[in-house]
Structures are given as C-alpha cells and as structure tokens.
Amino acid sequence: MSRYQMDDGTIVDTEKSKESWPEKTDFNGNNHISRATKDQWTHEKLYRSRKGRYYVEHTSQWQGTQPHVEWVSPEEAARWLLLMEYRLPADLEKHEAKIVE
C-alpha cells in the first residue's frame, strides 16, 4: 500500500484503487526494459481510482529517488494501456481510433 498526495491535494491510496495495470517489459538480451520508460531502472504502473480517475505511479531502483504519482487524462491512460498491449476498459475504448493508426 502506498499513499500519495496529488498536486491538487487529493490523497490516493494504491491499495484502494479500483483497478491497476503493471508495465510490460521487453528483454534486450541482458535486462528487462520497461516499455513505459524505456529504462531498466525506472518503472510505471497505471491505476484507476475508486472515482474512475487515472493516475500513474512512478518508481525507480535508483538510490535516493522517491516514488511519485500524477493524474493522467483518459486519452493518456488509453495510450499507456495500448502500448502495454492491454485491452482497454469500456470507458477508454472511444480513444482507440484516435490513438492507433
């Protein structure tokens, strides 16, 4: 469980999220590289809050870095999910035609 305060003052609790999606990785022969960050040391996870808002949790294996979260728009959430090859939730399906060519 992690709790974060958003820039707008809202407190989000990852344990109470309605749904979450971990990033996918690709193996480059030596390391697993995050599709979201294109790095082996920094990571992202997408969440849908209980109120239906989407946010990304940013974490890192670098010493001294602090995890943080940020709100993302529904279109950004759809883009993130499609890049990770997840099926879009019903509330984001309308964004697919605009994003995928």
pLDDT at 25: 96
Q: Where residue 53 falls among pLDDT bands split at 50, 70, 90?
A: very high
Say what the pTM is. 0.93
3-state secondary structure the chain: CCEEECCCCCEEEHHHCCEEEECCEEECCCCEEECCCCCCCEEEEEEECCCCCEEEEEEECCCCCCCEEEEECHHHHHHHHHHCCCCCCHHHHHHHHHHCC
Q: Where residue 87 falls among pLDDT bands split at 50, 70, 90?
A: very high
